[in-house]
Amino acid sequence: MSPAAVPRRRVLGLLGLGVAVVGGCSVAGPGTARFDPRRGEVLREPPELTSTGGRLAVDLVAGPGASVAGRPAAAWGYGGTVPGPTLRVRPGDELAVRLHNRLDRPTNLHTHGLRVSPEGNGDNPFVLVPPGAAGDYRIPVPADHPTGTFWYHPHAHGHVAEQVFAGLAGALVVADGPTPGVAADRVLVVGDTTLDAGGRPVTLGPPPMGAGRRGELLLLDGQLQPEVGAVVGEVQRWRFVNATASRTLTLALADHLLHRVAVDGITLPGPEPVTAVRLLPGARSDVLVRPDRAGRWSLTARTAADGGMGMGGAGPVDEVLATVVVGGPGGATAPFPVLAAAAPSPAGAVTVRRRLVLTGGMGGMGGMGGVGQGGMGQGGMTFGIDGRPFDPERVDQRVAAGAVEEWTVENATPMSHPFHLHTWPMELVADSAGTAPTGVAQDVVEVPAGGWARLLIAFVGVTGRSVYHCHVLDHEDAGMMGTVAVG
Ligand code: C2O
Ligand code: CU
Ligand code: CU
C-alpha cells in the first residue's frame, strides 16, 4: 500500500491509537533495573546503502529488536540496527523506500533537510503507515540538490519523540562520491535512549515536558563511548547528526580544534576552526579533524540545561561521547581538502513579512504567553504556535511559489525552542541573543527564550504543503507545529 493511499480521515483516526498500546515498551519506575551496556568498543559505523544507476531502492523495516551499546536489546531500529543504515545518494537520484511498520503504532518516514517534494508519496509528513502495513515512498532528489549530511526519522505526530528516542533514526548522505583527501569519512549519529534491564525502551510517563526527554545512555552510532581510531597528521571528516529527541549538544575534542566545513548539509566557503560545535536537536555539522599528536583524546558532549529554562534542575553536564585513539608517528601533515562550497541561497527582494509566535506554558499556572492555548502536553504544559495546537487539516501559512519571505519567529515561552522548517531552508538574519549568523541556510534555528529569531526563507525548488515545528520532539508531539502550503 502506498502511504499516500491512506485516506486522510483514516489517517487522523489512526493518530490516537498508539496511546493505549504500550506493548514493546516498559514504564520507568524508581529502582527499576537498568540495561547493562558495554562501553569502549571500537566504533562501528552504521551499514551503508549506496545508490547505483541513479536509484537507491531499500526496504526499511521499523521494529523492535535492535542491539544497543554492544548488547542484544529490544530497541526500535530500521533493519535491526540503531542507528538505521546510512542511505547514500547522488543529486538527481531517486530514493525509493518501502517502509515496513512492525511496531504496534503508526509510523512514517521523513527525510530531514532534503529539499524534495512533500507531496503524495514523497517526503510527506501527513501520511502514516499503520501498524503491520508497508508504505512506498518515492523521493526524487533534485539534480541541483546540495551535497551534504541529512537524516531520516519517523514523523507520526504524537509518536515522534518516543520513536526517535527508542532508536528510529538514520543518516542520509547526498554526495557526488567519496570526500577527496580524507583518511576517513565518518557518519557519527548522536542519539540518546533509556532501556530497561531487558533492553526495551523505557516509556517516560509523563514525559518531562520542560526540556523534553533525556536518555540515560548518550550514544554515538548506537554505542556507548566507542573508540575512534586515527593517525597523527591525517585528516578525517566527521558528519555529526544530532538525533537525540531534545538535547542541544556542544561537542568538543580535547586539545584539538574542530574545523567546521558544513552546517545542516550546506558546505561552508572554507573550514572554520572552532573549539566546539553546538548542535541543536535535528541539526548537523560536518567537521574536519587532524590529530597533531598520539594519545587518547575525549570527544565530549555538553547538554544544555533545561532548554534554557533555568528551572533549577541539573546544570550542563559534560559526557564522554567517544575516545579518539591517535596512533603515531604518522606521515606528513595532510592538507585540508578543498570542498566545493554550496551555491549561495537564492537572493531576491523580500515580498512578505510574517510573524509567528511560539506559545505555551504551565497549564493552569497563568502568567506565561499563550497559557491555556495550544496542545496540552502530558506534563501539564501546553505547546502551540500562535496560540493553537497543530491541526493537520488546517493551512497556517500560504506562500506563493518562488517567494522570498522574512519570518520573525517570536518565543512567548520561558524556554528556548529549536525551530525547524521542512523542505525550504532558512537563513538566520539576526536573533534577540545576538547570535552570529552562519551565513548559510540552516534547517534548525534556535529561538531564544522570551526572544525572537529573524529568518530569510526562499520558497524555491519545490511546492506543496509541509510543516514547521519545534525539534524538541516532545514539544512537537504536544502541538508546537504548524503547516505551510507553497504553491
Ligand atoms: Cu527532523 Cu519535522 O523533523
Ligand atoms: Cu524535518
Ligand atoms: Cu520546543
> What separation in Å is there between the alpha carbon of 473 and the centre of ligand 1?
8
The residue whose C-alpha atom lies closest to atom 3 belonging to ligand 1 is 112
Q: How confident is the model at residue 140 (pLDDT cuts 50, 70, 90)?
A: very high
pLDDT tens digits, one per residue of 278-324: 999 999 999 999 999 999 999 999 998 755 454 444 567 789 999 99
- Asked if residue 291 has a cis previous peptide bond (ω within 30° of 0), the answer is no
Q: How confident is the model at residue 366 (pLDDT cuts 50, 70, 90)?
A: very low
Ligand 1 atom index nearest CA of 155: 2
Ligand 1 atom index nearest CA of 112: 1
Instruction: Say which residues have a Cβ less than 8 Å from residue 31's Cβ, sequence separation at least 6.
Output: none
- Ligand 1 proximity of 465 Cβ (cutoff 6 Å): no
**Greater pLDDT, 211 or 42:** 42
Looking at residue 381, its pLDDT comes to: 76
Res. 380: pLDDT tops 80? no
- Ligand 1 proximity of 475 Cβ (cutoff 6 Å): no
> What separation in Å is there between the alpha carbon of 281 and the centre of ligand 1?
9
Q: What is the largest CA-CA distance in the chain?
A: 65
pLDDT tens digits, one per residue of 55-104: 999 999 999 999 999 999 999 999 999 999 999 999 999 999 999 999 99
pLDDT tens digits, one per residue of 448-478: 999 999 999 999 999 999 999 999 999 999 9
Q: Are strands 184-193 and 236-242 parallel, antiparallel or unpaired?
A: parallel
With 0-12 CB in 10 A as exposed, 13-18 as middle and 19+ as buried, what is 302? Answer: middle
Ion ligand 3: residues, CB within 5 A, are 417, 470, 472, 475
Distance between CA 283 and CA 274 in Å, rounded?
Answer: 17
- Ligand 1 proximity of 284 Cβ (cutoff 6 Å): no
Looking at residue 118, its pLDDT comes to: 98
**pTM for the model:** 0.91
- Ligand 1 proximity of 157 Cβ (cutoff 6 Å): no
Instruction: Say which residues have a Cβ less than 8 Å from residue 332's Cβ, sequence separation at least 6.
Output: 233
- Ligand 1 proximity of 282 Cβ (cutoff 6 Å): yes
Q: How confident is the model at residue 361 (pLDDT cuts 50, 70, 90)?
A: confident
pLDDT tens digits, one per residue of 401-443: 999 999 999 999 999 999 999 999 999 999 999 999 988 999 9
Mean pLDDT of 192-198: 95
- Ligand 1 proximity of 112 Cβ (cutoff 6 Å): yes
- Ligand 1 proximity of 155 Cβ (cutoff 6 Å): yes
> What separation in Å is there between the alpha carbon of 441 and the centre of ligand 3?
20
Ligand 1 atom index nearest CA of 444: 1
- Ligand 1 proximity of 417 Cβ (cutoff 6 Å): no
Give the three-state DSSP class for 245: coil
Res. 374: pLDDT tops 60? no
The residue whose C-alpha atom lies closest to atom 1 belonging to ligand 1 is 112
Distance between CA 462 and CA 443 in Å, rounded?
Answer: 16
Distance between CA 313 and CA 4 in Å, rounded?
Answer: 43
Looking at residue 117, its pLDDT comes to: 98
Q: How confident is the model at residue 378 (pLDDT cuts 50, 70, 90)?
A: very low
As beta bridge partners, residue 71 has: 68
Which range has the worst mean pLDDT, 341-350, 364-373, 434-443, 460-469? Answer: 364-373
Looking at residue 197, its pLDDT comes to: 94
Mean pLDDT of 250-279: 97
**pLDDT, averaged across the chain:** 89
Looking at residue 209, its pLDDT comes to: 61
Spatial CA neighbour of 159 closest among 188, 195, 201, 119: 201
Res. 127: pLDDT tops 90? yes
> What separation in Å is there between the alpha carbon of 114 and the centre of ligand 1?
11
Looking at residue 363, its pLDDT comes to: 58
Q: From the CA of 212, which ligand is nearest?
A: 3
- Ligand 1 proximity of 422 Cβ (cutoff 6 Å): yes
Res. 343: pLDDT tops 90? no
Mean pLDDT of 40-67: 98
- Ligand 1 proximity of 290 Cβ (cutoff 6 Å): no
Handedness of CA 447, 451, 456, 457 (dihedral sign): positive
Q: How confident is the model at residue 235 (pLDDT cuts 50, 70, 90)?
A: very high
Distance between CA 426 and CA 416 in Å, rounded?
Answer: 18
- Ligand 1 proximity of 420 Cβ (cutoff 6 Å): yes
> What separation in Å is there between the alpha carbon of 282 and the centre of ligand 1?
7
